[in-house]
Structure 1
Amino acid sequence: MIKLGHYNTLEIFREAEQGVYLADEDGNEVLLPNRYVPETFKIWDKIDVFVYLDNEERPVATTDKPLVTRNDFALLRCNEVTSFGAFLDWGLVKELFCPFKEQVFKMKAGGWYLIHCYMDEKTNRLVASSKTNRFIDNKELTVSQFDEVDLIVSHPSDIGMNVIVNNIHHGLIYNDNIFRDLSIGDKLKGYVKKIRPGNKLDIVLSKVGYRSIEPNADRIMQELNNNNGYIDLNDKSNPEAIKDLLQMSKKNFKKAVGTLYKKRLIEIKSDGIYLVE
């Protein structure tokens, strides 16, 4: 079955004036227009394509890579707003439509918006929605404490930054656990620090507890090696200085430094930390 809104691996089935037709194992066909046809090919060659609807609402294949696929989230630019809704740039010839009813705030041309791409069952078209919260829930969690997870930065709050966890759950990074600049739409790795009542997920950007010591120590060693064996930090340094240079808390910094010192890999002096040669 050819999946609309997803990447498909299909076989080149036959040539036509407007391009080549690709087919799946069940014999379902879709056109790959001439502009995307490889310079050299043979019938039955396999090719990876993205399938969506063209301007006439017909399935069509492309070798271009969209910025978002079906059931995924992405930060997209609004190209135009009409009386029907907004049209977003997702890297394909035909823009992605976002109806007014699916906009948290009315979109404006030139603005950037975090959206979810989904199949509208009424029209059988791929559309966008900036009402991202309705596509995630925490009723049945698929993650556990300390798990590494994929994050998409959603929106800020007074106490931290809301994130989408593994494309299906809501999580929160508290302000005191943020040690780097975060922007809406950023995609990064994180960890489940705690699961609170109501399946609320507390997320952090570094491993929890003792698990963070080794990667933080590696980060300090990397910085030492990049700076001729010296960094202008020690256990009396301002937490902001540590955050700016190493993107970690002072507490985690001291634990990592202690580990490196015990291994005799570093020397701690009043003016900073030195790599032991």
Structure 2
Amino acid sequence: MIELGNYNTLKVLRSTSVGLFLGDDEGTEVLLPNKYVPEDFEIDSHLEVFCYLDNNERPIATTIKPYIIRNSFAFLEVAEVGTFGAFMDWGLEKHLLVPFREQGVEMEEGKKYVVYCYLDEETFRLTGSSRIKRFLSNDGFDIPVNDEVDLLVYRKTPLGWEVIINGKYKGLVFESDVFKPISIGKNLKGYIKAVRPDAKIDISLQPIGAKMLEPTANLIFEKLKDNDGFLALNDKSAPEDIRNTLHLSKKAFKKAIGTLYKERKITIESDGIRML
């Protein structure tokens, strides 16, 4: 079955004046226009293509990789606003429509928004939505505390930054846990900090507990190498100075330099730390 909005590995059936016709095991065919046909194709070989509806609402294949695929999230720019909604640039000739009813806030041309791509069962068209919470659920969440996860930042709140975890779940990075630049649409690595009884998930942008010592210590040691073996920071430095230089909390910094000191890799001086 050819899946619209996703990558499909299809068999090259025949070459025509308009392009290649590709097919699946069920006998369904789709056109790969000439401008996307690779030079070294062979009949009966297989190609990986992305399938969607063209401007005439016909299924079509392309070798271009879009910025978003079906049932996923991405940070996309509005190419134009029309009668039916906002048209997002997702890397293909035909833009992805986010209807007005699917806009969490009114979209403006030239601005970027986190959107979800899904197949509208009524129209059978790929559609975008910025009503993100509809597509997130923490039911069945089973990722252990301290495990690393992929994050997409999608909203700023008074408490901090709401993030999409592994493309499925909703989490929060508290403002007090942010020690490096962060913004809507940014892809980050994070760590599960806590899972609350109400299924809310707290996220840290740094490794937690014992896991944080080695990577954080290595980060500081590499920074020392890049700065001729000296950093004007120590355990008495202001938290803001540590955050601005290393994007770390003072607590994480103190633990890490303690590790480096015990390993005899640094000395702690009155005006900073020095590599041995």
TM-score (norm 2): 0.97
Q: What residue identity is the alignment partner of 1:214? A: E
Counterpart of 1:126? Answer: 126
Indicate yes or no: 2:92 matched with 1:92: yes
- Distance in 1, Cα, partners of 2:22 & 2:232: 60
- Distance in 2, Cα, partners of 1:40 & 1:164: 40
- Distance in 2, Cα, partners of 1:168 & 1:142: 12
CA-to-aligned-CA distance 1:49-89 (integer Å, 9 cap, x gap): 11111111111111111111101111111111112111111
Residue 143 of structure 1: how far off its partner (Å): 2.1
Q: Helix, strand or coil: the match of 1:65?
A: coil
Q: What residue identity is the alignment partner of 1:9? A: T
Q: What residue identity is the alignment partner of 2:4? A: L
- Distance in 2, Cα, partners of 1:142 & 1:99: 34
CA-to-aligned-CA distance 1:16-37 (integer Å, 9 cap, x gap): 1110011223332211100000
Counterpart of 2:153? Answer: 153
Residue 140 of structure 1: how far off its partner (Å): 2.5
What percentage of aligned pairs have identical amino acids? Answer: 50
Counterpart of 2:4? Answer: 4
- Distance in 2, Cα, partners of 1:209 & 1:27: 55
Indicate yes or no: 2:173 matched with 1:173: yes
Residue 8 of structure 1: how far off its partner (Å): 1.5
Counterpart of 1:103? Answer: 103
Give runs of aligned pairs for residues 173-212 of structure 1, distance below 5 A. Answer: 173-212=173-212
Q: Helix, strand or coil: the match of 1:11?
A: strand
Q: Helix, strand or coil: the match of 2:93?
A: coil
Counterpart of 2:40? Answer: 40
- Distance in 2, Cα, partners of 1:243 & 1:23: 55
Residue 171 of structure 1: how far off its partner (Å): 0.5
Residue 142 of structure 1: how far off its partner (Å): 3.4
Q: Which moved more, 1:62-71 or 1:42-51?
A: 42-51
CA-to-aligned-CA distance 1:182-224 (integer Å, 9 cap, x gap): 1111111111101112111000011111110111001011111
Give the root-mean-square deviation of aligned CA atoms: 1.1
Indicate yes or no: 2:50 matched with 1:22: no
- Distance in 2, Cα, partners of 1:87 & 1:13: 34
Task: Name structure 2 gaps, 5 residues minimum.
Answer: none
Q: Which moved more, 1:37-46 or 1:248-257?
A: 37-46
Give runs of aligned pairs for residues 177-256 of structure 1, distance below 5 A. Answer: 177-256=177-256
- Residue correspondences, number: 276
Task: Name structure 1 gaps, 5 residues minimum.
Answer: none
Q: What residue identity is the alignment partner of 1:105? A: V
